[in-house]
């Protein structure tokens, strides 16, 4: 690192309230959670290469996420060292500015649900149980984002999704509910379950664009499996499990830990900063004296 970059690094501040930084970090998190390859392209969001390098070091590398930048704006990451458990805590910290709006939306949608649901309908009863007990059934996804939501595949084709819940991590879950007659097990039920899973796979992409989300995952909720969540693939199940573990046991993140401070940057860096300032002053004095003494 040259002197100018070093001086800039001293004054550079990681700030989750900086929209450019937040957009870049969350977009990168989305890429990590969605990519099935070892590399992907990124957009800089008007950040300089220096700012990107600093965010990488202070946000990702400090959390054991290893990646390598190429000159053509592609990122390569080590799939062995990368894990969902490393990325999701970063998502949670940088998604915090949006959480208050999720809380307001949750209150609004629960009020709408209570006003419009039909408890004489078996499917609405299932949905009601899920909405009111989501904290126990699926810990971490506490916010009701929408119900009976519109899915537009194109201008001519319109479908309606069932439930969408949000989390502090920016991860949302799309859930399709199905009620079956548990006295019989028919081929029609098997096909209906398969169709519901396929709908969820399709709806995830629409939901991620429609709602504020870093990542959309999906599941089916039926009455014939003890009202348990059935995820549509292993990655979605893994993401939900890590969020559940973080929610119940492990993490209590402090935003201030991610804000830059002299302590976090290290005593040595602070000392070097003052040394540089003193040296610059000395050089300025010497040059000034030399000019004054020139006959």
pLDDT of residue 113: 94
Considering the domain architecture, whether residues 231 and 121 belong to the same structural domain is answered as yes
Backbone angles phi, psi at 166, to 5 degrees: -115, 170
Considering the domain architecture, whether residues 113 and 243 belong to the same structural domain is answered as yes
The answer as to whether 275 is a domain residue is: no
Mean pLDDT is lowest, of 125-139, 147-161, 179-193, 252-266, for 252-266
Considering the domain architecture, whether residues 77 and 117 belong to the same structural domain is answered as no
Contact 218, 127 (CB under 8 A): no
pLDDT of residue 110: 96
Contact 162, 207 (CB under 8 A): no
Determine the straight-line distance between the first and last CA of the chain, rounded to whole angstroms: 40
Considering the domain architecture, whether residues 104 and 239 belong to the same structural domain is answered as yes
Considering the domain architecture, whether residues 239 and 109 belong to the same structural domain is answered as yes
* pLDDT for residue 267 is more than 70: no
Considering the domain architecture, whether residues 116 and 245 belong to the same structural domain is answered as yes
Per the prediction, the chain carries an average pLDDT of 78
Mean pLDDT is lowest, of 65-69, 101-105, 228-232, 252-256, for 252-256
* pLDDT for residue 221 is more than 60: yes
Considering the domain architecture, whether residues 70 and 196 belong to the same structural domain is answered as no
pLDDT (mean) for 211-232 = 85
The answer as to whether 198 is a domain residue is: yes
The answer as to whether 280 is a domain residue is: no
Percent of the chain with pLDDT over 70: 67
| Model pLDDT for residues 77-96, shown as the tens digit of each residue | 554 445 778 889 899 999 99
**Torsion angle of the four alpha carbons 209, 211, 215, 221, in this order, in degrees rounded to the nearest 10:** -110
Largest CA distance in the chain: 108
Indicate the residue among 24, 56, 82 that finishes a domain: 82
pLDDT of residue 103: 94
| DSSP secondary structure, 141-182, as one string | --EEEEEEEEEESSSS-EEEEEEEEE-TTSEEEEEEEE---T
Contact 130, 175 (CB under 8 A): yes
Q: What is the C-alpha separation between 141 and 86, in angstroms, rounded?
A: 19
The answer as to whether 261 is a domain residue is: no
The answer as to whether 277 is a domain residue is: no
Mean pLDDT is lowest, of 168-177, 225-234, 240-249, 252-261, for 252-261
Considering the domain architecture, whether residues 223 and 118 belong to the same structural domain is answered as yes
The answer as to whether 169 is a domain residue is: yes
Considering the domain architecture, whether residues 230 and 114 belong to the same structural domain is answered as yes
Q: How confident is the model at residue 75 (pLDDT cuts 50, 70, 90)?
A: low
Pairing of strands 215-222, 171-178: parallel
Q: How many domains does the chain have?
A: 2
Considering the domain architecture, whether residues 110 and 212 belong to the same structural domain is answered as yes
* pLDDT for residue 290 is more than 50: yes
Residue 26's domain comprises 3-82
Residues 95-106 as b/e (b if ≥16 CB within 10 A, e otherwise) read bbebbeebeebb
Considering the domain architecture, whether residues 141 and 13 belong to the same structural domain is answered as no
The answer as to whether 71 is a domain residue is: yes
The answer as to whether 128 is a domain residue is: yes
Q: How confident is the model at residue 251 (pLDDT cuts 50, 70, 90)?
A: very low
Contact 235, 70 (CB under 8 A): no
pTM confidence score: 0.77
* pLDDT for residue 44 is more than 70: no
Instruction: Give just the sign of the alpha carbon dihedral 16, 21, 23, 27.
Output: negative
* pLDDT for residue 260 is more than 60: no
Considering the domain architecture, whether residues 151 and 43 belong to the same structural domain is answered as no
Q: What is the C-alpha separation between 245 and 147, in angstroms, rounded?
A: 26
């Amino acid at each position: 690192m040259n002197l100018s970059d070093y001086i800039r690094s001293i004054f550079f501040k990681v700030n989750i309230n900086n929209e450019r930084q937040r957009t870049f970090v969350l977009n990168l998190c989305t890429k990590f959670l969605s990519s099935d390859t070892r590399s992907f392209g990124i957009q800089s969001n008007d950040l300089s290469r220096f700012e990107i390098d600093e965010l990488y070091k202070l946000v990702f590398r400090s959390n054991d996420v290893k990646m390598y930048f190429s000159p053509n704006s592609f990122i390569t990451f080590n799939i062995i060292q990368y894990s969902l458990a490393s990325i999701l805590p970063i998502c949670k910290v940088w998604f915090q500015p949006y959480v208050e709006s999720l809380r307001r939306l949750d209150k609004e949608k629960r009020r709408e649900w209570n006003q419009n649901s039909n408890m004489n309908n078996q499917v609405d009863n299932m949905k009601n149980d899920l909405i009111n007990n989501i904290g126990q059934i699926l810990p971490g996804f506490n916010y009701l984002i929408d119900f009976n939501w519109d899915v537009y595949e194109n201008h001519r084709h319109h479908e309606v999704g069932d439930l969408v819940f949000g989390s502090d991590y920016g991860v949302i879950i799309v859930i399709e509910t199905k009620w079956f007659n548990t006295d019989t097990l028919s081929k029609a039920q098997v096909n209906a379950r398969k169709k519901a899973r396929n709908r969820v796979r399709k709806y995830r992409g629409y939901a991620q664009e429609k709602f504020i989300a870093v990542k959309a995952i999906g599941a089916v909720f039926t009455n014939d499996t003890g009202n348990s969540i059935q995820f549509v693939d292993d990655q979605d199940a893994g993401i939900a499990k890590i969020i559940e573990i973080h929610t119940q046991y492990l993490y209590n993140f402090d935003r201030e830990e991610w804000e830059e401070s002299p302590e976090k940057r290290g005593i040595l860096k602070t000392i070097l900063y003052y040394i540089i300032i003193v040296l610059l002053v000395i050089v300025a004095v010497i040059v000034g004296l030399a000019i004054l003494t020139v006959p």
